[in-house]
Amino acid sequence: MSKQIIDLKGKTVLVTGAAGFIGANLVKRLYNDIENVKVIGIDNVNDYYDIRLKDYRLKELGEYESFEFIKGSIADKAIITEVFEKYKPSVVVNLAAQAGVRYSITNPDVYIEANLIGFYNILEACRHYGVEHLVYASSSSVYGSNKKVPYSTEDKVDNPVSLYAATKKSNELMAHAYSKLYNIPSTGLRFFTVYGPAGRPDMAYFGFTNKLVKGEKIQIFNYGNCKRDFTYVDDIVEGVIRVMQGAPEKETGEDGLPLPPYAVYNIGNNQPENLLDFVTILQEELVSAGVLPSDYDFEAHKELVPMQPGDVPITYADTTALEEDFGFKPSTSLREGLRRFAIWYKEFYY
Protein backbone atom coordinates (compact mmCIF):
# COMPACT_ATOMS: atom_id res chain seq x y z
CA MET A 1 0.00 0.00 0.00
CA SER A 2 1.33 3.45 -0.93
CA LYS A 3 2.17 5.68 2.01
CA GLN A 4 2.18 9.38 2.74
CA ILE A 5 5.45 9.97 4.64
CA ILE A 6 4.95 12.01 7.80
CA ASP A 7 7.97 13.74 9.36
CA LEU A 8 7.32 13.79 13.12
CA LYS A 9 10.08 16.34 13.76
CA GLY A 10 8.64 19.40 15.50
CA LYS A 11 5.12 17.95 15.44
CA THR A 12 2.53 17.72 18.21
CA VAL A 13 1.45 14.15 18.92
CA LEU A 14 -1.52 13.17 21.09
CA VAL A 15 -1.14 9.82 22.87
CA THR A 16 -4.26 8.59 24.65
CA GLY A 17 -3.67 6.02 27.39
CA ALA A 18 -0.31 7.67 28.09
CA ALA A 19 -0.09 6.24 31.62
CA GLY A 20 -0.62 2.76 30.23
CA PHE A 21 2.01 0.16 29.45
CA ILE A 22 2.36 0.72 25.69
CA GLY A 23 1.47 4.43 25.89
CA ALA A 24 4.20 5.36 28.38
CA ASN A 25 6.83 3.40 26.45
CA LEU A 26 5.76 5.09 23.23
CA VAL A 27 6.03 8.59 24.73
CA LYS A 28 9.57 7.81 25.97
CA ARG A 29 10.63 6.57 22.53
CA LEU A 30 9.16 9.61 20.78
CA TYR A 31 11.17 11.95 23.00
CA ASN A 32 14.33 9.88 22.67
CA ASP A 33 14.09 9.49 18.87
CA ILE A 34 12.31 12.53 17.42
CA GLU A 35 13.70 16.05 17.42
CA ASN A 36 11.53 18.81 18.93
CA VAL A 37 8.49 16.58 19.23
CA LYS A 38 5.77 17.68 21.65
CA VAL A 39 3.62 14.99 23.21
CA ILE A 40 0.25 15.54 24.86
CA GLY A 41 -0.81 12.58 27.02
CA ILE A 42 -4.30 11.84 28.24
CA ASP A 43 -5.30 9.04 30.63
CA ASN A 44 -8.05 8.55 33.21
CA VAL A 45 -5.59 6.64 35.48
CA ASN A 46 -8.31 4.22 36.58
CA ASP A 47 -7.75 1.52 39.20
CA TYR A 48 -8.26 -1.48 36.90
CA TYR A 49 -4.82 -2.49 38.15
CA ASP A 50 -2.24 -1.23 40.68
CA ILE A 51 -2.14 2.58 40.35
CA ARG A 52 1.49 2.59 41.55
CA LEU A 53 2.56 1.29 38.14
CA LYS A 54 0.77 4.14 36.37
CA ASP A 55 2.28 6.68 38.79
CA TYR A 56 5.72 5.15 38.19
CA ARG A 57 5.30 5.50 34.42
CA LEU A 58 3.98 9.08 34.67
CA LYS A 59 6.87 10.04 36.94
CA GLU A 60 9.28 8.86 34.21
CA LEU A 61 7.39 10.87 31.58
CA GLY A 62 7.47 13.97 33.78
CA GLU A 63 11.21 14.21 33.07
CA TYR A 64 10.48 15.35 29.50
CA GLU A 65 10.12 19.12 29.55
CA SER A 66 7.53 19.56 26.80
CA PHE A 67 5.37 16.59 27.83
CA GLU A 68 1.91 17.68 28.98
CA PHE A 69 -0.39 15.32 30.81
CA ILE A 70 -4.15 15.64 31.10
CA LYS A 71 -5.99 13.41 33.56
CA GLY A 72 -9.34 12.62 31.99
CA SER A 73 -11.39 10.10 30.06
CA ILE A 74 -11.59 9.97 26.27
CA ALA A 75 -15.30 9.22 26.82
CA ASP A 76 -15.66 12.83 28.01
CA LYS A 77 -16.31 14.69 24.75
CA ALA A 78 -15.72 18.13 26.28
CA ILE A 79 -12.18 17.17 27.37
CA ILE A 80 -11.32 15.73 23.95
CA THR A 81 -12.66 18.80 22.11
CA GLU A 82 -10.70 21.08 24.44
CA VAL A 83 -7.46 19.12 23.89
CA PHE A 84 -7.80 19.21 20.08
CA GLU A 85 -8.80 22.89 20.11
CA LYS A 86 -5.84 23.89 22.28
CA TYR A 87 -3.04 21.67 20.92
CA LYS A 88 -4.20 20.81 17.36
CA PRO A 89 -2.23 17.52 17.20
CA SER A 90 -0.89 16.45 13.79
CA VAL A 91 -0.79 12.76 14.69
CA VAL A 92 -3.04 10.92 17.16
CA VAL A 93 -2.20 7.53 18.68
CA ASN A 94 -5.26 6.10 20.46
CA LEU A 95 -4.11 3.54 23.02
CA ALA A 96 -6.72 4.40 25.68
CA ALA A 97 -9.07 1.46 26.10
CA GLN A 98 -10.41 -0.82 28.75
CA ALA A 99 -8.26 -3.89 28.31
CA GLY A 100 -8.72 -7.51 29.31
CA VAL A 101 -10.87 -10.33 27.96
CA ARG A 102 -12.02 -11.81 31.27
CA TYR A 103 -12.81 -8.43 32.85
CA SER A 104 -15.19 -7.68 29.95
CA ILE A 105 -17.39 -10.56 31.08
CA THR A 106 -17.89 -9.11 34.58
CA ASN A 107 -17.69 -5.35 33.81
CA PRO A 108 -19.14 -4.76 30.33
CA ASP A 109 -20.16 -1.12 30.92
CA VAL A 110 -16.61 0.24 31.01
CA TYR A 111 -15.81 -1.38 27.65
CA ILE A 112 -18.71 0.39 25.94
CA GLU A 113 -17.70 3.70 27.53
CA ALA A 114 -13.95 3.65 26.83
CA ASN A 115 -13.71 1.51 23.70
CA LEU A 116 -16.78 2.69 21.78
CA ILE A 117 -17.86 6.12 23.04
CA GLY A 118 -14.26 7.16 23.72
CA PHE A 119 -13.08 6.04 20.29
CA TYR A 120 -16.04 7.79 18.64
CA ASN A 121 -15.00 11.04 20.37
CA ILE A 122 -11.46 10.64 19.01
CA LEU A 123 -12.76 10.03 15.47
CA GLU A 124 -15.03 13.07 15.63
CA ALA A 125 -12.14 15.26 16.83
CA CYS A 126 -9.86 13.93 14.05
CA ARG A 127 -12.60 14.80 11.57
CA HIS A 128 -13.01 18.39 12.76
CA TYR A 129 -9.33 19.21 13.37
CA GLY A 130 -7.69 17.87 10.21
CA VAL A 131 -5.37 15.25 11.73
CA GLU A 132 -2.65 13.93 9.38
CA HIS A 133 -2.75 10.35 10.73
CA LEU A 134 -4.78 8.46 13.32
CA VAL A 135 -3.08 5.31 14.61
CA TYR A 136 -5.12 3.19 17.02
CA ALA A 137 -4.78 -0.02 19.00
CA SER A 138 -6.83 -2.97 17.88
CA SER A 139 -6.15 -6.46 19.20
CA SER A 140 -5.37 -10.03 18.18
CA SER A 141 -8.61 -10.92 20.00
CA VAL A 142 -10.58 -9.83 16.89
CA TYR A 143 -9.58 -13.16 15.29
CA GLY A 144 -11.80 -14.96 17.83
CA SER A 145 -11.60 -18.71 17.42
CA ASN A 146 -10.42 -18.62 13.79
CA LYS A 147 -8.97 -22.04 12.97
CA LYS A 148 -6.58 -20.81 10.24
CA VAL A 149 -3.15 -19.82 11.58
CA PRO A 150 -1.13 -17.68 11.38
CA TYR A 151 -3.76 -14.95 11.57
CA SER A 152 -3.71 -12.63 8.57
CA THR A 153 -5.34 -9.22 8.26
CA GLU A 154 -6.95 -10.66 5.11
CA ASP A 155 -8.94 -13.15 7.22
CA LYS A 156 -12.60 -12.62 8.08
CA VAL A 157 -13.01 -11.49 11.70
CA ASP A 158 -16.76 -11.68 12.23
CA ASN A 159 -16.89 -14.07 15.19
CA PRO A 160 -15.58 -12.37 18.35
CA VAL A 161 -15.69 -14.55 21.46
CA SER A 162 -15.63 -11.70 24.02
CA LEU A 163 -17.12 -8.22 24.33
CA TYR A 164 -13.57 -6.83 24.44
CA ALA A 165 -12.88 -8.36 21.01
CA ALA A 166 -16.20 -7.04 19.68
CA THR A 167 -15.32 -3.48 20.76
CA LYS A 168 -11.93 -3.71 19.04
CA LYS A 169 -13.49 -4.98 15.81
CA SER A 170 -15.98 -2.09 16.13
CA ASN A 171 -13.07 0.37 16.32
CA GLU A 172 -11.78 -0.92 12.98
CA LEU A 173 -15.23 -0.58 11.38
CA MET A 174 -15.76 2.92 12.78
CA ALA A 175 -12.29 4.03 11.62
CA HIS A 176 -13.01 2.66 8.15
CA ALA A 177 -16.27 4.61 7.95
CA TYR A 178 -14.57 7.86 9.02
CA SER A 179 -11.69 7.26 6.60
CA LYS A 180 -14.19 6.81 3.77
CA LEU A 181 -16.53 9.68 4.72
CA TYR A 182 -13.97 12.31 5.75
CA ASN A 183 -10.73 11.14 4.09
CA ILE A 184 -9.00 10.68 7.47
CA PRO A 185 -5.85 8.53 7.12
CA SER A 186 -6.13 5.84 9.81
CA THR A 187 -4.13 2.73 10.68
CA GLY A 188 -5.26 0.04 13.12
CA LEU A 189 -2.70 -2.17 14.85
CA ARG A 190 -3.65 -5.62 16.10
CA PHE A 191 -1.33 -6.20 19.04
CA PHE A 192 -0.45 -9.74 20.11
CA THR A 193 0.09 -10.46 23.86
CA VAL A 194 2.35 -7.57 24.83
CA TYR A 195 4.73 -8.05 27.77
CA GLY A 196 7.76 -6.44 29.43
CA PRO A 197 8.95 -4.38 32.42
CA ALA A 198 6.27 -2.30 34.21
CA GLY A 199 3.61 -4.10 32.20
CA ARG A 200 0.01 -4.92 33.11
CA PRO A 201 -0.41 -7.06 36.25
CA ASP A 202 -3.49 -8.73 34.75
CA MET A 203 -1.32 -10.37 32.08
CA ALA A 204 -0.28 -13.99 32.69
CA TYR A 205 3.49 -13.45 33.13
CA PHE A 206 2.95 -10.70 35.73
CA GLY A 207 0.12 -12.48 37.56
CA PHE A 208 2.13 -15.72 37.65
CA THR A 209 5.09 -13.87 39.14
CA ASN A 210 2.98 -12.20 41.85
CA LYS A 211 1.47 -15.55 42.85
CA LEU A 212 4.76 -17.45 42.86
CA VAL A 213 6.33 -14.77 45.07
CA LYS A 214 3.46 -15.21 47.56
CA GLY A 215 3.80 -19.00 47.42
CA GLU A 216 0.37 -19.37 45.76
CA LYS A 217 -0.53 -21.81 42.98
CA ILE A 218 -0.63 -20.60 39.38
CA GLN A 219 -3.38 -21.85 37.10
CA ILE A 220 -2.34 -22.78 33.58
CA PHE A 221 -5.39 -22.74 31.32
CA ASN A 222 -6.37 -25.35 28.73
CA TYR A 223 -4.09 -27.75 30.61
CA GLY A 224 -1.06 -25.91 29.26
CA ASN A 225 -2.08 -26.36 25.62
CA CYS A 226 -2.47 -22.65 24.91
CA LYS A 227 -0.04 -20.93 22.57
CA ARG A 228 0.54 -17.18 22.61
CA ASP A 229 2.45 -14.90 20.28
CA PHE A 230 4.22 -13.01 23.10
CA THR A 231 5.49 -9.66 21.80
CA TYR A 232 8.01 -7.59 23.74
CA VAL A 233 6.91 -4.01 24.38
CA ASP A 234 9.94 -2.42 22.64
CA ASP A 235 9.03 -4.31 19.45
CA ILE A 236 5.45 -3.05 19.68
CA VAL A 237 6.63 0.54 20.16
CA GLU A 238 9.09 0.29 17.26
CA GLY A 239 6.22 -0.87 15.06
CA VAL A 240 3.94 1.96 16.23
CA ILE A 241 6.57 4.65 15.57
CA ARG A 242 7.25 3.33 12.07
CA VAL A 243 3.55 3.16 11.26
CA MET A 244 2.95 6.71 12.59
CA GLN A 245 5.35 7.98 9.94
CA GLY A 246 3.60 6.23 7.04
CA ALA A 247 -0.06 7.17 6.66
CA PRO A 248 -2.21 5.44 4.03
CA GLU A 249 -2.14 7.59 0.89
CA LYS A 250 -5.24 9.59 0.00
CA GLU A 251 -6.32 8.32 -3.41
CA THR A 252 -9.28 8.71 -5.72
CA GLY A 253 -11.14 5.70 -7.07
CA GLU A 254 -12.37 5.10 -10.61
CA ASP A 255 -15.71 6.69 -9.66
CA GLY A 256 -13.95 9.95 -8.78
CA LEU A 257 -14.70 9.50 -5.08
CA PRO A 258 -11.98 9.16 -2.44
CA LEU A 259 -10.82 5.64 -1.57
CA PRO A 260 -10.64 5.27 2.22
CA PRO A 261 -7.03 5.93 3.37
CA TYR A 262 -7.27 3.01 5.77
CA ALA A 263 -4.97 0.16 6.81
CA VAL A 264 -4.74 -2.57 9.47
CA TYR A 265 -1.59 -4.47 10.50
CA ASN A 266 -0.66 -7.26 12.90
CA ILE A 267 2.19 -6.59 15.31
CA GLY A 268 3.22 -9.90 16.83
CA ASN A 269 6.31 -11.99 17.31
CA ASN A 270 5.30 -14.42 14.54
CA GLN A 271 6.45 -17.25 16.83
CA PRO A 272 3.79 -18.62 19.23
CA GLU A 273 5.10 -20.15 22.45
CA ASN A 274 3.48 -22.97 24.39
CA LEU A 275 2.27 -21.77 27.79
CA LEU A 276 4.16 -24.50 29.68
CA ASP A 277 7.44 -23.59 27.95
CA PHE A 278 6.72 -19.94 28.69
CA VAL A 279 6.23 -20.69 32.40
CA THR A 280 9.50 -22.67 32.50
CA ILE A 281 11.47 -19.75 31.01
CA LEU A 282 9.75 -17.28 33.35
CA GLN A 283 10.67 -19.41 36.39
CA GLU A 284 14.30 -19.68 35.31
CA GLU A 285 14.59 -15.93 34.81
CA LEU A 286 12.88 -15.14 38.15
CA VAL A 287 15.39 -17.38 39.92
CA SER A 288 18.26 -15.84 37.97
CA ALA A 289 17.15 -12.28 38.91
CA GLY A 290 16.85 -13.24 42.59
CA VAL A 291 13.06 -12.80 42.70
CA LEU A 292 12.63 -16.46 43.70
CA PRO A 293 15.03 -18.74 45.60
CA SER A 294 17.05 -21.25 43.58
CA ASP A 295 15.39 -24.20 45.37
CA TYR A 296 11.82 -23.04 44.63
CA ASP A 297 9.47 -26.02 44.12
CA PHE A 298 7.63 -25.07 40.92
CA GLU A 299 5.78 -28.35 40.48
CA ALA A 300 4.01 -27.81 43.80
CA HIS A 301 2.79 -24.39 42.63
CA LYS A 302 1.40 -25.37 39.21
CA GLU A 303 -2.18 -26.36 38.47
CA LEU A 304 -3.43 -27.31 35.00
CA VAL A 305 -7.05 -26.19 34.50
CA PRO A 306 -9.62 -26.03 31.64
CA MET A 307 -10.08 -23.12 29.24
CA GLN A 308 -11.69 -19.88 30.48
CA PRO A 309 -14.72 -18.30 28.73
CA GLY A 310 -13.63 -15.78 26.07
CA ASP A 311 -10.14 -17.28 25.75
CA VAL A 312 -8.71 -18.79 22.57
CA PRO A 313 -6.25 -21.70 22.29
CA ILE A 314 -3.72 -19.98 20.03
CA THR A 315 -2.68 -16.51 18.85
CA TYR A 316 -0.24 -16.34 15.97
CA ALA A 317 0.47 -13.25 13.87
CA ASP A 318 1.19 -13.17 10.17
CA THR A 319 3.37 -10.03 9.99
CA THR A 320 4.09 -10.12 6.24
CA ALA A 321 2.25 -6.84 5.51
CA LEU A 322 4.14 -4.99 8.26
CA GLU A 323 7.47 -6.30 6.91
CA GLU A 324 6.61 -5.39 3.32
CA ASP A 325 5.29 -1.88 4.05
CA PHE A 326 7.59 -0.83 6.91
CA GLY A 327 10.56 -3.22 6.77
CA PHE A 328 9.98 -4.28 10.35
CA LYS A 329 9.46 -7.54 12.19
CA PRO A 330 9.54 -8.02 16.00
CA SER A 331 12.69 -9.87 17.05
CA THR A 332 13.11 -9.90 20.86
CA SER A 333 13.31 -13.49 22.08
CA LEU A 334 10.98 -14.61 24.88
CA ARG A 335 13.91 -15.36 27.19
CA GLU A 336 15.47 -11.93 26.64
CA GLY A 337 12.13 -10.19 27.22
CA LEU A 338 11.31 -12.16 30.38
CA ARG A 339 14.85 -11.58 31.67
CA ARG A 340 14.35 -7.81 31.42
CA PHE A 341 10.96 -8.14 33.13
CA ALA A 342 12.42 -10.22 36.00
CA ILE A 343 15.25 -7.71 36.58
CA TRP A 344 12.75 -4.81 36.62
CA TYR A 345 10.41 -6.71 38.99
CA LYS A 346 13.26 -7.23 41.47
CA GLU A 347 14.13 -3.49 41.40
CA PHE A 348 10.51 -2.29 41.66
CA TYR A 349 9.13 -4.60 44.34
CA TYR A 350 12.16 -5.39 46.52
Give the CA distances from residue 182 to residues 86, 137, 142, 176, in Å, rounded to whole numbers and listed in that order. Answer: 22, 20, 25, 10
CB atoms within 10 A of CB 217: 12
Angle value at C-alpha 98, between 260 and 273, nearest 5 degrees? 85
349 is catalytic: no
- The one catalytic residue in 31, 48, 120, 164 is 164
d(CA 226, CA 315): 9
DSSP state of 95: -
Q: Which spans in 185-248 are helix H?
A: 204-214, 233-244
3-state DSSP assignment of residue 54: helix
- Concatenate the DSSP letters of all residues of 114-136 into one string: IIIIHHHHHHHHHHHTT-SEEEE
- Long-range Cβ contacts of 306-309 (<8 Å, 24+ apart): 306/221, 306/222, 306/223, 307/221, 307/222, 307/226, 308/102, 308/221, 309/102, 309/105, 309/162
Which positions are annotated as active-site residues? 164
